[in-house]
Chain A
Amino acid sequence: MAVRVQREDFDPGREMEALSEGRRDIGAVASFTGIVRDEKGAGGIRAMTLEHYPGMTERKLEEIEAEAHRRWPLEASLIVHRYGRLEPGERIVFVAAASSHRKAALEACAFLIDWLKTKAPFWKLEEGVEGEQWADAREADDEAAARWAEDG
């Protein structure tokens, strides 16, 4: 289990390899890489600056990771989230879950990114042609996180 909050880029391939390196009990590694996109069309978003709450960010990411380990039989996991200024095409977030079997790895990977998006204290300031604007939270992200709600 590990979380990293960093300004620097990361190499998804190397991160995945490191998760299962030297292990003989891991049969599946699932990962998700988030990339900054220009969602408003050509040139609509020039860049975004990620702000976060140092201390609480790491704490929340560790809680999310621990929750994934509680729900699925994971052998290893990793969350990497960048902050600072990023341009479309740059990697912003990486989550990975490793398990003996694919089902736990795939489900835990989806859970990690869904919960991260609604619980980790990060905020995007978007730079567009008309200046800077704070990104709005999306209902779709709340719905994606809500599907992991446990009964009772």
Chain B
Amino acid sequence: MTTLQIRYFAWMRTRVGTGAEAVEAPDTVRDVAGLMDWLEARGPGHAKAFARREAVRIAVNQDYVDPDHPVAEGDEVAFFPPVTGG
């Protein structure tokens, strides 16, 4: 098992229904893409949030990464739409 801190922002947060959750991901989850597959199956809100993968941006430990980035014990993994500040 891998303990991960998951963060959601903007419409990812409103769809999932929470801005943060701690999860114990199974050992089969090795990278962010695998994590998204696993999270998507957690419920209808998660399924809706991860339905359009191309619209989801990812940060691991507060740095932008691609879906093939590995996940490790204690990582903070954030999912959010393209940014719209400024």
| Residues of chain A at the chain B interface (Cβ within 8 Å) | 34, 50-53, 55-56, 59, 81, 92-93, 113, 116-125, 134-138, 141
Contact for B85 among A56, A59, A116, A136, CB less than 8 A: A116
Binds A, one of B5-13, B28-36, B39-47, B66-74: B5-13
| Residues from chain B with Cβ under 8 Å of A53 in the complex | 7, 9, 59, 62, 78, 80
Check A59 against B86 for contact (C-beta < 8 Å): no
| Residues from chain B with Cβ under 8 Å of A59 in the complex | 62
Contact for A56 among B10, B59, B86, CB less than 8 A: B59
* Cβ-closest chain A residue relative to B64: A119
| Residues from chain A with Cβ under 8 Å of B63 in the complex | 56
Q: What is the interface size of chain B, counting residues whose CB is below 8 A from a CB of the partner?
A: 17
In whole Å, how far is A88's beta carbon from the nearest beta carbon of chain B?
16
**Bound complex: CA A113 to CA B85 (Å):** 10
In whole Å, how far is A111's beta carbon from the nearest beta carbon of chain B?
13
| Residues from chain A with Cβ under 8 Å of B17 in the complex | none
| Residues from chain A with Cβ under 8 Å of B80 in the complex | 53, 121, 123
**Bound complex: CA A33 to CA B62 (Å):** 27
Check A52 against B85 for contact (C-beta < 8 Å): yes
If A56-B62, A59-B62, A123-B9 touch, whether A113 touches B81 (CB-CB below 8 Å) is no
Check B10 against A118 for contact (C-beta < 8 Å): no
Check A134 against B85 for contact (C-beta < 8 Å): no
**Bound complex: CA A141 to CA B78 (Å):** 22
In whole Å, how far is B27's beta carbon from the nearest beta carbon of chain A?
27
* Cβ-closest chain B residue relative to A63: B63
Check A137 against B85 for contact (C-beta < 8 Å): no
Q: Does any Cβ of A come within 8 Å of B82's Cβ?
A: yes
**Bound complex: CA A52 to CA B7 (Å):** 12
* Cβ-closest chain B residue relative to A136: B84
